[in-house]
Amino acid sequence: MKLLTKTTLFFLTIALFVLFGGGIVFYFSFRYIMNHEVKRELVTEMHQVILHPPQGNIIGIDSVVFNLPVHYQILPVKDIHNPTFVFRDTLLFDNIMGRYQPYRMLSYETNLDGKPVRISISKSLLMSDELIEYVAFVILLLSLILLLFIIAFNNYFFSRIWGKFFKTIDVIKDYNISDKKEITFPESEITEFNLLNQVFEQMHERIKQDYQNLKEFIENISHEIQNPLAIIKSRVDLLLQDEDLNKSQTDLIQSIQNSTIRLSNLNRSLILLSKIDNNQFPDKEEVSIVENINYHLDNFEDIIQSKNITLHKDYNNQITILADSNLISIMLLNLLKNSIYHNVPSGNIEIITEVNKLIIRNSGKELDINKEDLFKRFTKSSNKPESLGLGLAIVKKICDYYHCSIQYFCQDNFHTITIIFN
């Protein structure tokens, strides 16, 4: 859940509880006040009737006292049983409205002109109920406006106060240790955000320094290994030319030579990866993908024929990209070599070009590794222990270098690698 949603829900929950609880308290308080006011007016009316009773026939008389609409009735009783004020709610028929309306009634038994009577005074509650409903509607409307204000204010507060924080997050999210450009964090008026930026800057400097030291170490080791490897290879070649060697010695020297060649290839691959990381391929020219593929296929022709591989080429589009020709050549070489090397006897290879898309499909055994690890360094199948496990890692690194996407898919023992050029 996003921080804005979390804080908005938090404030809305508090506001709803406060408004709901406050609304209930206000409603019953307001109703109590209105009922108390009606009771006070009824008591005042009763005193007026007792002190100034109407003249003449006093049975079932309606009147208006103090310009307040009330209905009162005086009925004779045999005896006075309850000489106190009695309040109750009732419904009386309103001739004007044509329906029953709620009234609050006050009854009192007393002697009027020497006769025991029950005086009943009723006051309409319609105005009070309408007023309460009106006030409740106003409160509800104000509550909705307040909730909308809270949401709008929270969004404004969030975007204004937390905006610099999310800019910092964007900088970190787009951070690439191999990118040579300096990263800058936005200044904020919030002390904690500035402290966070300082921590990130210090961490960036430490990571950058460690990464630079590691790259220099790999470069130095790779370059220092080249000379001893060259010497070993030359000495091994000289030993192999010795006619006095027996078969056991020849096999041993041949094993040393194979290991030397393997180590030399590994060294060249690591140097290439290091150069790509150091952005040492700034030169760009128009490179034809199809021409490069055909060039490498000519070199692999003998191997393709020896494994009896059926090659199908479907060039629907002549892809031309702006890049370093050597890097693109290395990328295509590794892809084609991979499709041939991991193919099966009498297998198939399909090479398809579409608009800004290269598809290479080859038959082969199912992978015994996770496809998520396919483009990682030193990832290799247990069936091919002699492989360096760097070919597809180099392809992925070159694709990332030129902002191209690479995808792998396998179905029915057919492995498909798709490169979408930028």
pLDDT, one tens digit per residue, over 269-285 is 777 777 777 777 777 88
| Rounded percentage of the chain residues whose pLDDT exceeds 90 | 8
Query: CB under 8 Å, gap of 24 or more: what pairs does 42-47 form?
Result: 42/70, 42/87, 42/104, 42/105, 42/106, 42/121, 42/123, 43/85, 43/106, 45/70, 45/72, 45/106, 45/121, 45/123, 46/85, 46/106, 46/108, 46/119, 46/121
With beta carbons less than 8 A apart as the criterion, state whether 351 and 357 touch: no
In this predicted structure, the answer to whether residue 349 has a pLDDT above a threshold of 90 is: yes
Q: Does residue 70 have a pLDDT over 70? A: no
| Residue 293 backbone phi and psi in degrees, to 5 | -65, -45
Closest by CA position to 317, among listed 284, 287, 288: 288
Nearest one of 100, 101, 108 to 124, comparing CA atoms:
101
Domains and CATH numbers, the chain: 3-157 (no CATH), 192-277 (1.10.287), 285-420 (3.30.565.10)
Per the structure block, which two tokens stand in for 22?
A: 């406050």
Q: Is 58 a residue whose pLDDT tops 70?
A: no
Bridge partners, residue 418, by sequence:
359, 407
Mean pLDDT of all residues in 88-95: 74
Average pLDDT over residues 4-23: 76
Per residue, what are the HEC states of 178-197?
CCCCCCCCCCCCCHHHHHHH
| Averaged pLDDT, 304-319 | 89
Relative orientation angle of helices 247-277 and 191-240, to the nearest 10 degrees: 150
Q: φ, ψ for residue 374 (rounded to 5)?
A: -60, -35
Place of tokens 């308080």: 29
Residue with tokens 């490069």, as numbered in its chain: 292
Greater confidence, 259 or 384? 259
Maximum Cα–Cα distance across the chain = 157
How far is 24 from 143, CA to CA, in rounded Å? 13
For residue 104, the cross-strand partners are 89, 123
pLDDT in tens, 404-420: 899 998 888 889 999 99
- Could you please report the per-residue DSSP string of 68-90? EEEEEEEEE-SS-S--S-EEEEE
Count H helices and E strands in the chain, helices first. 9, 12
Structure tokens at 2: 């996003």
**From CA 339, how far away is CA 312, in angstroms rounded?**
13
Query: pLDDT of 144-174, one tens digit each?
Result: 888 788 778 777 777 777 777 878 888 888 7
| Averaged pLDDT, 49-59 | 63
Does the model's pTM come out above 0.75? no
The number of angstroms, rounded, from the C-alpha of 117 to the middle of its chain's C-alpha atoms is 79
Tell me the backbone φ, ψ of residue 375, rounded to 5 degrees: -95, 10
Beta-bridge mates of residue 69: 64
Q: Which of 68-77, 321-330, 355-364 has the lowest mean pLDDT?
A: 68-77
User: Per residue in 371-388, is it b (16+ CB within 10 Å) or e — as a string?
Assistant: eeebbebebbbeeeeebb
- Reported as a single tens digit per residue, the pLDDT across 115-132 is 787 878 887 777 776 777
What is the C-alpha R_g of the chain? 47
pLDDT (mean) for 204-233: 78
Q: What confidence score (pLDDT) does residue 62 get? A: 46
Q: Is the pLDDT of residue 350 over 90?
A: yes
How far apart are alpha carbons 50 and 112 in whole angstroms? 7
What is the overall mean pLDDT for the chain?
Answer: 79
Query: Which uninterrupted H or E stretch holds 104?
Result: strand 99-112
> Per-residue pLDDT for 96 more than 80?
no
* One-letter identity of residue 211: Y
Which pLDDT score is estimated for 417? 92
